Amino acid sequence: MAEIAIDPTLGPVRARTGDERAVLGAFLDLHRAVVLRKVRDLTDADAARRLVPSATTLAGLVKHLTIVERNWFQVLLDPAPGDRFPTSEEDAAASFALSEGETLADLVTAYEAQCARSRELAARFPLDHVVGQPQLGEVSLRWILVHLIEETARHAGHADILRELTDGETGAV
């Protein structure tokens, strides 16, 4: 049988016969990569520019997703003293806000590092591992992974629209 050529950026296709953990991880990593591709080659000014009525920006999306990764993996699975899971609308809104001097390069580096930390933490536990979450009660690692796929994919779609509005570039890969 002839080998089928598959774009190597399409991890979910390569994991199509993998176990549950491989499939979940591949889909999450795909959407993480899409977000990063959406901000590639942008200036700090373009990444911080508001193009929609909300305060959502490309740089803000990267910052928000870094915080989301930290909260759902690090704060829940390996909390440090004083860590708390944010539960207010103010916390959510603040996670998109850019601070003076934050650069897109720094935000991307932080996101990549946090994603690596999330992968490391998730690998330490079985998918059925359950932790407490202040708003939902108990959640499993499986649920956290599915939630992060949903959250990251949703924001990758936002990033796709914002990038198109910025310079006309479209497409996930």
Residue-wise pLDDT for 45-92, tens only, equals: 999 999 999 989 999 999 999 999 999 999 999 999 999 898 878 878
Tell me how far apart the alpha carbons of residues 138 and 161 are, in angstroms, rounded to a whole number: 34
Tell me how far apart the alpha carbons of residues 169 and 17 are, in angstroms, rounded to a whole number: 32
Phi, psi angles (nearest 5°) of residue 95? -70, -15
Q: What is the pTM of this model?
A: 0.91
Q: Evaluate if residue 4 carries a pLDDT over 90.
A: no
pLDDT digits (tens, 9 = 90+) for 107-141: 999 999 999 999 999 999 999 999 999 999 999 99
The residue extents of the domains of the chain are 27-167
pLDDT digits (tens, 9 = 90+) for 133-171: 999 999 999 999 999 999 999 999 999 999 999 999 887
Give the fold, CATH level 3, of 27-167. Answer: Four Helix Bundle (Hemerythrin (Met), subunit A) (1.20.120)
Q: Is 103 exposed, middle or buried (0-12, 13-18, 19+ CB in 10 A)?
A: middle
Do residues 51 and 165 touch, judged by C-beta distance below 8 A? Answer: yes
